[in-house]
Amino acid sequence: MLIRKPDDIPSSEITPESMYLNRRKFISTASGLAAAALVPGSLAACAADNDSQQPLADKLTPYEDVTRYNNFYEFGLDKGDPQKRSGGFRTRPWTVTVDGLVKKPGSYAFDDLIRQHQVVDRTYRLRCVEAWSMVIPAAGDSAGGGNPPRGATPAAKFVEFTTVLRPAEMPGQRRAVLDWPYTEGLRMDEAVHPLTLLATGLYGRPMPNQNGAPIRLVVPWKYGFKSIKSIVRIRFTESQPQTAWNESAPDEYGFYANVNPEVDHPRWSQARERRIGELRRRPTLPFNGYADQVAGLYQGMDLRRFY
């Protein structure tokens, strides 16, 4: 199994970043079939999936930066707080409840969930609303085929995600910064889009606590706040769910939050971004560079109004 607890992994098994990059290069250049024959187990499945999705021209953001510069307000407001203060956060046992407009609501142990799903390996760009960005190799479950899950009822049109509420382990939740627990939502077609990932790993290792262990969302064409961390509940709804940031500052954070260089945040421009680890600022791309794959979801919508 690809995903294991961090303390189960001897340091000899952790792939150094340089080797990881070589392996990625190999996977992305090998043809699907050849890669399937040569790389083990779940990685073989990844290769084919990954080829069409990987932003090959992008240099990966170093692991150290990806895990030390984070937004995870449950652990504090400073970008260094999540790494410094999430050591005592317990991610096992972990249960995810699936309810709302589903035929069989239920609660599932995280380890059983990932055993039943095919883990894909994917490199994605994350663009934070604060105009920084990173490029990260992640592993997880792509909700996939574009169709609503078979377990959802026909009335289900949206999906709401909720982060764990555990103020004893999450010092940020002891202050009323947001209306805890953090919640987010997607329209059904966004949730089941092949680019949307329920991510459980990073750089070939289990998801670090500060990045949203054990399971988080990655929606790469949207501002980072949509990519909710440490999920304990997935609820299918008929109407658009309320979200933590939209509730807290509706003029600044909309439900859609598609990366859009032409629509500024009320307090700053969104036209440019700075990659973590780089000094220069680069132009921000519509839909974070994924327009070919997702612009069609919003045909006919005024994206200035539905920001």
Chain residues that interact with ligand MTE, rule: CB under 6 A = 70-74, 126, 128, 163, 182, 211, 224-225, 227-230
Q: Which residue, 35 or 184, has its beta carbon nearer to ligand MTE? A: 184
By beta carbon distance, the residue nearest ligand MTE is 224
* Residue 41 amino acid letter: G
Q: Which residue, 94 or 225, has its beta carbon nearer to ligand MTE? A: 225
Give the residue among 31, 25, 121, 128 at the shortest CA–CA distance from 72. Answer: 128
**Residue 47 C-beta: closest distance to ligand MTE, Å:** 24
How far is residue 270's CA from residue 131's CA, in Å, rounded to a whole number? 6
**Residue 170 C-beta: closest distance to ligand MTE, Å:** 9
Give the residue among 145, 91, 157 at the shortest CA–CA distance from 120. Answer: 145
Q: Which residue, 39 or 141, has its beta carbon nearer to ligand MTE? A: 141
Q: Which residue, 148 or 208, has its beta carbon nearer to ligand MTE? A: 208
- What is the H or E stretch that residue 252 is in? none
Q: Which residue, 24 or 216, has its beta carbon nearer to ligand MTE? A: 216
Angle between helix 41-51 and 17-29 (nearest 10): 60
**Residue 35 C-beta: closest distance to ligand MTE, Å:** 27
Instruction: Please report the DSSP string for 137-194 in residue order.
Output: EEEEEE--SSSPPTTB-TT--EEEEEE---TTT-GGGGSTTSSSSPEEEEEHHHHTST
**Residue 147 C-beta: closest distance to ligand MTE, Å:** 26
**Residue 198 C-beta: closest distance to ligand MTE, Å:** 13
